[in-house]
């Protein structure tokens, strides 16, 4: 789960991580009031969306007058912001964060992630902050330092010093960075975060360190244990289809291809998507209907898949291990009739009573193809999607 920058900065402050004083605003008047309240001679108006890359996309506006605070706010509010992280539809801008502008000497990068390779929480530090860290990692990996934390020992002072040296910090700044890293480490553990990113962490002209941006992701499987974090959830920033899927216990991720996929089991779903790709098609989604599949779930899954206008054909790939294939086939037929599926559907059934299942599917006169194996099913669905496009 993601939260907004202004919420992340509030959490930062409560963990001793210095962040600029700022105020959220949902209208141009509120933005004006916020800027007046903050005082100073320059402000930044920041669109609050669950995505980075806002600066380059025009979602972070530096202004010098109160008139421009209001103008920038009117410009951003009510619209959608498209950044390289949002996809073409962008995300709605309902809230802004108004801050004073700070004199920036240097922009640094600091994040805390779980490194799956070493299975440890790992700090990533780079003096090349402010920009796309993926690009830095690609073009000049020597500018990035990773420091893995031993789970029993915890964060050590010498690890903080190593990061400080890599960031080119001196004297009091080393102490300040240690405080920031300890705060991030505690926040990560206490709130079950999965990622905390400060990009940029700035060094001001006066030599102070300040988190100018703040991004926190939380572990979806742990968030129920943290009502204070759950209360920060903004459904409007999330994919409506993914939210709907969650309600029905379906594991659904929107993608941008043309072939809808319905599969039981996450591993099988991944393999199915790989095969669709291999045969020249592109999946419109990842969808794991789970183990205890029933007609209701299959219906909801079809509805989800078909609510995506890009879908030209559907591939159903079910392995009947515990559930029998003929029962699944009747479920699929009932669902197709109920949901009025207009695009061709290729079904691959394997497992217990697979033949009976296929026979049922073949005797319907619907736009339905029962494939005899997965490779054929993938080839068939790719050809059907291409023919329909």
Residue 23 or 277: the one with the smaller Cβ distance to ligand ADP is 23
% helix, strand, coil for the chain, step of 5: 40, 25, 35
Q: Which stretch binds ligand ADP (CB under 6 A): 100-108, 220-228, 340-348, 374-382?
A: 100-108
350 binds ligand ADP, rule: CB under 6 A = no
Helices and strands counted in the chain (H then E)? 13, 18
Q: Which stretch binds ligand ADP (CB under 6 A): 33-41, 94-102, 253-261, 283-291?
A: 94-102
Distance from the Cα of residue 64 to its chain's centroid? 33
Is residue 46 annotated as involved in ligand binding? yes
Residue 201 or 276: the one with the smaller Cβ distance to Mg ion is 201
What are the CA-CA distances from residue 220 to residues 119, 192, 198, 383 (Å)?
18, 9, 21, 37
Distance CA 218, CA 238 (A): 14
Distance CA 225, CA 151 (A): 21
Q: Any idea which residues carry the catalytic annotation?
A: 109, 197
24 binds ligand ADP, rule: CB under 6 A = no
Instruction: Give the three-state DSSP class for 37.
Output: helix
Residue 213 or 300: the one with the smaller Cβ distance to ligand ADP is 213
Environment class of 186 (CB within 10 Å of its CB; exposed 0-12, middle 13-18, buried 19+): middle
Whole-angstrom Cα Rg for the chain: 25
Interaction mask 52-91, ligand ADP, x per CB under 6 A: xxxx----x-x-----------------------------
Cβ atoms of 381 and 346 within 8 Å: the answer is yes
Residue 366 binding target from ligand ADP, Mg ion, none, CB below 5 to 8 Å by type: none
* One-character DSSP codes across 195-220: EEEEEEEEEETTS-EEE-S-EEEE-T
Among 199, 258, 285, 353, binds Mg ion (CB under 5 A): 199
- According to CB under 6 A, which residues from 229 to 258 bind ligand ADP? none
379 binds Mg ion, rule: CB under 5 A = no
Cβ atoms of 262 and 315 within 8 Å: the answer is yes
The residue nearest Mg ion at its CB is 213
Is residue 44 annotated as involved in ligand binding? no
178 binds Mg ion, rule: CB under 5 A = no
Cβ atoms of 301 and 340 within 8 Å: the answer is no
317 binds Mg ion, rule: CB under 5 A = no
Q: What is the dihedral of CA 39, 40, 41, 42, to 10 degrees?
A: -80
Residue 51 or 245: the one with the smaller Cβ distance to Mg ion is 51
Residue 11 binding target from ligand ADP, Mg ion, none, CB below 5 to 8 Å by type: none
Which residue positions form the known binding site for Mg(2+)? 199, 213
Which residue positions form the known binding site? 46, 53-55, 99, 102, 107, 199, 213, 264, 321-323
Which residue positions form the known binding site for ATP? 46, 53-55, 99, 102, 107
List residues near ligand ADP by CB under 6 A: 20, 44, 52-55, 60, 62, 99, 101-102, 104, 107, 130, 199-200, 212-213
Which residue positions form the known binding site for substrate? 264, 321-323
């Amino acid at each position: 789960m993601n939260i907004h920058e202004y919420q992340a900065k509030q959490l930062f402050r409560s963990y001793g991580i210095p962040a600029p004083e700022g105020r959220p605003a949902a209208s141009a008047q509120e933005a004006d009031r916020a800027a007046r309240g903050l005082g100073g001679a320059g402000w930044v108006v920041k669109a609050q969306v669950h995505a980075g890359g806002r600066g380059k996309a025009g979602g972070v506006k530096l202004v010098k007058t109160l008139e421009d605070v209001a103008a920038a706010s009117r410009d951003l509010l009510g619209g959608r912001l498209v950044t390289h992280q949002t996809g073409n539809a962008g995300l709605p801008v309902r809230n802004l964060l108004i801050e004073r502008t700070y004199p920036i000497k240097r922009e640094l990068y600091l994040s805390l992630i779980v490194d799956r390779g070493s299975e440890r929480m790992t700090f990533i530090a780079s003096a090349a902050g402010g920009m796309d860290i993926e690009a830095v990692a690609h073009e000049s990996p020597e500018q990035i330092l990773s420091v893995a934390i031993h789970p029993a020992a915890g964060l050590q002072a010498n690890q903080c010093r190593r990061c400080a040296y890599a960031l080119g910090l001196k004297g009091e700044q080393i102490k300040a960075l240690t405080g920031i890293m300890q705060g991030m480490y505690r926040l990560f553990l206490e709130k079950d975060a999965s990622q905390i990113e400060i990009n940029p962490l700035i060094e001001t002209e006066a030599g102070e360190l300040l988190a100018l941006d703040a991004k926190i992701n939380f572990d979806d499987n742990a968030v129920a244990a943290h009502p204070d974090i759950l209360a920060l959830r903004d459904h409007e920033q999330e994919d409506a289809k993914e939210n709907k899927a969650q309600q029905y216990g379906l594991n659904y991720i929107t993608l941008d291809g043309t072939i809808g996929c319905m599969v039981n089991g996450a591993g099988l779903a991944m393999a199915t998507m790989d095969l669709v790709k291999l045969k020249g098609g592109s999946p419109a989604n990842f969808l794991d209907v789970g183990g205890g599949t029933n007609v209701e779930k299959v219906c909801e899954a079809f509805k989800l898949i078909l609510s995506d206008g890009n879908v030209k054909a559907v591939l159903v790939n079910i392995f009947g291990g515990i559930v029998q294939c003929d029962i699944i086939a009747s479920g699929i037929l009932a669902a197709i009739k109920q949901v009025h599926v207009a695009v061709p559907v290729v079904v691959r059934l394997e497992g217990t009573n697979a033949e009976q299942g296929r026979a049922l599917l073949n005797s319907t006169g619907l736009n339905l193809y029962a494939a005899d194996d997965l490779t054929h099913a993938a080839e068939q669905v790719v050809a059907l999607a291409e023919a329909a496009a």
